[in-house]
């Protein structure tokens, strides 16, 4: 992984929140400059060729900022572009061989239960996302799982880091960290942020109060 100033922040992209690709890439530049743990290029609706073309552009931005790009769901694209980090749906990850999984320096997965977390550990994941914890517009009609769910998955996950996902705000950071999460995975707030670095700082400041309370 590259150097990161905000190791507790994992950003997941959503280019559809922008009028065009140029605006999306400008936001990626801002986010990369703020140096989160990584930027997961999700964009699940894109055909492989178009995803690869976009990933190449985002890779170059991330390399310039010394920030890690994490390819989502396309191991072949990651190999082709020399990107050593991969995030996969858990079932798709299970279809990869052990040798294929070991090709990547950083391997992440999306989890929604304790069973998922245990499978991810068995597959050799370096981190997982768990959610959605709070109500979010990204999952309309689906009830949130809550902080208790987060605590349930973080225990068995240890020492593998868990990034909480869904409906996060800086005000909720202390509760998320008390539940055992290593950090915060965010999509909408990061995509919409005028100043991503300031947004990440707000999470860090709220989290510092959480850590003080845990001493």
pTM confidence score: 0.94
Query: What are the sequence ranges of the domains in the chain?
Result: 6-210
Q: Which of the two residues, 153 and 136, has the higher pLDDT score?
A: 153
pLDDT at 153 over 80: yes
pLDDT at 215 over 60: no
Q: Look up residue 59 and give its DSSP letter.
A: H
Q: What's the CA gap between 178 and 181, in Å, rounded?
A: 7
Confidence of residue 212 (pLDDT cuts 50, 70, 90): very low
pLDDT at 132 over 50: yes
Minimum mean pLDDT among 39-53, 69-83, 151-165, 199-213: which range? 199-213
Q: What confidence score (pLDDT) does residue 208 get?
A: 60
Nearest to 210 by CA among 185, 159, 175, 169: 175
Average pLDDT over residues 172-187: 96
Q: Look up residue 167 and give its DSSP letter.
A: S
With respect to CATH, is domain 6-210 assigned 3.20.20.70? yes
């Amino acid at each position: 992984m590259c150097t990161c100033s905000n190791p507790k922040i994992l950003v997941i992209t959503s280019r559809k929140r922008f009028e065009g690709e140029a605006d999306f890439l400008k936001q990626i530049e801002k986010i990369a400059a703020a140096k989160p743990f990584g930027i997961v290029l999700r964009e699940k609706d894109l055909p492989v060729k178009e995803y690869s073309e976009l990933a190449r552009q985002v890779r170059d931005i991330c390399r310039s900022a010394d920030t890690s790009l994490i390819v989502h769901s396309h191991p072949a694209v990651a190999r082709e572009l020399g990107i050593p980090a991969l995030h996969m749906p858990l079932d798709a990850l299970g279809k990869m061989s052990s040798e294929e999984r070991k090709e990547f320096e950083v391997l992440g997965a999306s989890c929604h239960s304790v069973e998922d977390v245990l499978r991810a550990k068995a597959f050799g994941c370096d981190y997982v996302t768990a959610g959605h914890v709070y109500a979010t517009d990204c999952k309309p009609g689906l009830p949130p799982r809550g902080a208790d769910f987060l605590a349930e998955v973080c225990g068995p996950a240890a020492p593998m880091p868990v990034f909480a996902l869904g409906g996060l705000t800086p005000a909720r950071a202390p509760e998320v960290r008390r539940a055992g999460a290593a950090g915060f995975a965010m999509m909408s707030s990061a995509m919409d942020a005028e100043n991503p670095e300031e947004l990440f700082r707000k999470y860090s400041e709220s989290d510092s109060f959480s850590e003080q309370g845990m001493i």
